[in-house]
Amino acid sequence: MGPNVDRRPPVMADVARLAGVSHQTVSRVLNDHPNVRAETRTRVLRAIDQLGYRRNLVARALVTKHSRTLGVVSFDTTLYGPASTVYGIEQAARDAGYFVSIVSLRTIDRAGVNDAIGYLAEQGVDGIVVVAPQRSAARALDDLPAGMPAVAVEGWHQGDVSVVSVDQVEGAKLATSHLLDLGHETVWHVSGPADWLEAEGRIEGWRAVLTAAGRPIPDMLTGDWSPRSGYQAGKQLAAMAGDVTAVFVANDQMALGLLRAFTEEGVKVPEQISIVGFDDIPESEFFSPPLTTIRQDFGAVGRRSIDVLLRQIESGGALPHERLVVPPQFVLRASTAVAPR
Amino acid sequence: MGPNVDRRPPVMADVARLAGVSHQTVSRVLNDHPNVRAETRTRVLRAIDQLGYRRNLVARALVTKHSRTLGVVSFDTTLYGPASTVYGIEQAARDAGYFVSIVSLRTIDRAGVNDAIGYLAEQGVDGIVVVAPQRSAARALDDLPAGMPAVAVEGWHQGDVSVVSVDQVEGAKLATSHLLDLGHETVWHVSGPADWLEAEGRIEGWRAVLTAAGRPIPDMLTGDWSPRSGYQAGKQLAAMAGDVTAVFVANDQMALGLLRAFTEEGVKVPEQISIVGFDDIPESEFFSPPLTTIRQDFGAVGRRSIDVLLRQIESGGALPHERLVVPPQFVLRASTAVAPR
DNA sequence: TCCAAAGATGTTAACGCTAACATCATCCGG
DNA sequence: CCGGATGATGTTAGCGTTAACATCTTTGGA
């Protein structure tokens, strides 16, 4: 209606003119300032509606110094763990009225993480979450821009940054103890890649339980989290069937690979070998046999990390750094049984 | 060194002062403007380095009207498909020098998608990718803010928006034909939920092949993409073993559920029943038996969608809308065999 | 009834940057 | 050796918003 064929979108001044008020009053209406007459408010609202006005958050951010945007740096968001964590982060952030700008690293190294953090800082994010599961990446948090609120997820850190993570050591202990409780003499371990903090934590927990029980610590096999690497480890372990009666695998995907290898080699799970995984991906319950595993509540980790970050932002950075641990949960299914013979 | 304990970060003017030039010259250096003397450039660069200056992209965006940020609206980025697509999008965007701001919807409906698009528009994104696998969501693209470049991924659309997607119908045909070629009389189908465009496309392809071959079209079972729903469908199908010899399942996760149900019921795959899945998730190769499936190249979809979107942005919106189709790929593994008897 | 306090609105000045134009120094060919 | 073209730099004016202050209008109690 009308010759309203302006090419560029309306701005506050346009709304103000149409409503017959000053642009500041429009701003007040938009920001729920109390001192605006009800009648004026509705007049402004009507004008906004009529023009299809949308405020320009970029201009707002320039003056307020807050973009209400959070940065997230992550690694391979294709994997179930990172994907779920980032999802939890995004949900929690949006519930709190924040946007999320994501940088997904292809390879993770200190320089890459640093670059990502730098970009996000230029972009004016109010805070940064680094999903830093590797030692090298975690170290990048040492040279964060001054005054930038940040939180590390699944990271390890001694320095001055808050950390939220699942208790990997505890999870590994749960898994290993369960197998020992079933009467197995000892427990083998297929670990994740060396540089990963989660892999280290799981190794630590596994070793601790074995040591405490005075059991021999078998040679460790190392995978790369992929089903294929688990399959390869499985082939090796199958060759030792008889010696090996229980395996704690560092994640469910590798456990699937083991299961496949054992099936091919005619090794029965759990009759001959018991297996415990880690993560509890949605598929695990339907493996053959259904996988006993350790559940990580990634969603909770994401949410808690946003809690911590927002608290830090709102406190103006005057808050002590926190270390928040989310407990893992043991999930009993059908891939474990009492030791044979 | 020195009393440089200013609380707030340095701005261009600070750099200019230190380098003994005007702020505009600093801007020129930062934007690689040619007309700057080499000596001046290095002086400015040194000053930038010394102060630890980072440019403020918010201020820049305000004047240039470009934020170099792309918005992504997606649904449940926890699933392998959306997660991989979004990952591809993010990588391609960053390679092109763009940031990505993500909104992950919990539930997908027209209003939700519209809100998300609205938020992103206020935030000043240069374009929007909507991963809209559901009819209701795809329709939200009808009321996009005027002049906002956009592309729908895995979406269906007649209107004026570009679409990038995998050819679902073709994929389903590949799967169904393969089973027919193995001598099966007909092929059963476990579909995805009704409102999903992918589910519809797969049903269409399945029906088309059966119809063309003059085969009876069995009653369709419907799942919700989850392994559990596949498990339930599997239980039903197992009860009909003998009648049922071939099943095309709309995704790999449900196929896993079928496999589990069949194992429990003593139905042998592929000896008694052949199964073809869809997606080719990383786990499929290690199912028991390894799953014959249709691979979707989600990464390619993500990349192509960014290609299309950037072309649209750079052309100033004067470009015709494209419809880009990524072909699916048949992956033969061990879950299919010639029909029994 | 009058005045101070509170409420409603307007005016002006940033925020940090780039675009556009202005100015000065330098270069080269006739 | 001069004058216009070119290169190098500076100056000014916004971008669209909120903060801070100024102004005018109400309101309520002595």
Q: Residue A233's pLDDT band (boundaries 50, 70, 90)?
A: very high
Same domain, A197 and A287: yes
Among A30, A31, A53, A58, the residue to mutate for chain B (most B Cβ within 10 A): A58
Task: List the B120 CA – D18 C1' distance (angstroms).
Answer: 21
Q: DSSP assignment of B236-301, as one string?
A: HHHHTBTTB-EEEESSHHHHHHHHHHHHHHT--TTTT-EEE-SB--TTGGGSSSPPBEEE--HHHH
Residue B64 at interface with chain A, using a CB cutoff of 8 Å: no
Q: Do A177 and A246 have their domain in common?
A: yes
CA–C1' distance B58–D21 (Å)?
27
**B292-305: average pLDDT:** 96
Cα distance between residue A279 and residue B58, in whole Å:
40
A275-297 pLDDT, tens digit each: 999 999 999 999 999 999 999 99
Q: CB–CB of B128/B148 below 8 Å?
A: yes
Give the tokens for residue A258. 């083991």
Give the domain CATH number at A271: 3.40.50.2300
Give the tens place of pLDDT for each residue, B235-294. 999 999 889 999 999 999 999 999 999 999 999 999 999 999 999 999 999 999 999 999
Domain containing A50 equals 12-55
Dihedral sign, Cα of residue B315, residue B317, residue B320, residue B324: positive
What kind and span of H or E run contains A241?
none
> Are B141 and B173 part of one and the same domain?
no
Average confidence (pLDDT) over A26-52: 95
From CA A329, how far away is CA A15, in angstroms rounded? 55
Task: With beta carbons less than 8 A apart as the criterion, state whether A283 and B254 touch.
Answer: no
Residues B212/B218/B221/B225 CA torsion (nearest 10 deg): -30
DSSP string covering B95-124, please?
HTT-EEEEEEESS--HHHHHHHHHHHHHHT
**In terms of domains, do B31 and B175 share one?**
no
Q: Evaluate whether residue A302 is within a structural domain.
A: yes
Q: Could you give the 3-state DSSP secondary structure of residue A197?
A: helix
Residues A289, A191 within the same domain = yes
pLDDT at B212: 98
Determine the pLDDT at residue A156: 72
Strand C interface, A 313-332, C-beta < 7 A: none
Q: What is the mean pLDDT of residues B131-158?
A: 85
A333, part of any domain: no
Q: Is residue A4 part of a domain?
A: no
pLDDT on residue B132: 82
Q: Looking at residue B138, what is its pLDDT?
A: 83
HEC per residue, B175-219: HHHHHHHCCCCCCEEEECCCCEHHHHHHHHHHHHHHHHCCCCCCC
Which residues of chain B from 270 to 309 reach within 8 Å of chain A, CB to CB? 282-283, 285-288, 290
Domain count along chain B: 3
Q: What is the CATH number of the domain that holds A25?
A: 1.10.260.40
Question: How does pLDDT run across A57-111, given as a tens digit for each residue?
Answer: 999 999 999 999 999 999 989 989 999 999 999 999 999 999 999 999 988 888 9
Integer Cα distance of A32 and A18 in angstroms: 20
Return the residue of A nearest to B105 by Cα: A91
- Model confidence at A129, in pLDDT bands (50, 70, 90)? very high
| Strand-pair partners of B164 | B153, B324
Kindly indicate the confidence band of residue A7, based on its pLDDT and cuts at 50, 70 and 90: low
Mean pLDDT, range B109-131, rounded to an integer: 94
Which of A120, A280, A286, A296 is the best mutation test for B, with the most CBs of B within 10 A?
Answer: A286
Q: Read off the pLDDT of residues B43-87 as tens digits, 9 standing for 90 and up.
A: 999 999 999 999 999 999 999 999 999 999 999 899 899 999 999
Residues B173 and B290 grouped into a single domain: yes
Contacts 24+ apart (CB under 8 A), A158-163: A160/A321, A161/A321, A162/A308, A162/A309, A162/A312, A162/A321, A162/A322, A162/A323, A162/A324, A163/A321, A163/A322, A163/A323, A163/A324
Residues B87 and B146 occupy one common structural domain: yes
Which stretch of A130-134, A249-253, A261-265 has the lowest confidence by average pLDDT?
Answer: A130-134
* Domain annotation covers residue A1: no
Q: Are residues B270 and B184 in the same domain?
A: yes
Please check whether residue B3 lies inside any domain of the structure.
no
Are residues B287 and B322 located together in one domain of the fold? no
CB–CB of A140/A110 below 8 Å?
A: yes
A257 within a domain of the structure (yes/no): yes
Q: Cα–Cα distance between B235 and A146 in angstroms, integer?
A: 59
Rounded CA gap, B171 and A247, in Å?
Answer: 39
Same-domain pairing of A236 and A262: yes
Q: What is the mean pLDDT of residues A256-268?
A: 97
Please provide residue A87's backbone torsions phi and psi, each rounded to the nearest 5 degrees: -60, -45
B7 assigned to some structural domain: no
Q: What is the pLDDT of residues B190-207, one digit of tens each?
A: 999 999 999 999 999 999
**CA angle B81-A118-A81, nearest 5°?**
30
Distance of CA A203 to the CA centre of its chain: 21
> What confidence score (pLDDT) does residue A131 get?
92
Whether the predicted pLDDT of B1 surpasses 60: no
| pLDDT averaged over every residue in chain A | 93
Is residue A320 reached through a cis peptide bond, with omega within 30 degrees of 0 on the bond before it?
Answer: no
B176 HSE (CA, 13 A, CB side): 29
Same domain membership, residue B303 and residue B291:
no
- The token duo for B248 is 């095309």
- If asked whether residues A139 and A228 sit together in one domain, one would say no
| A86 belongs to a structural domain | yes
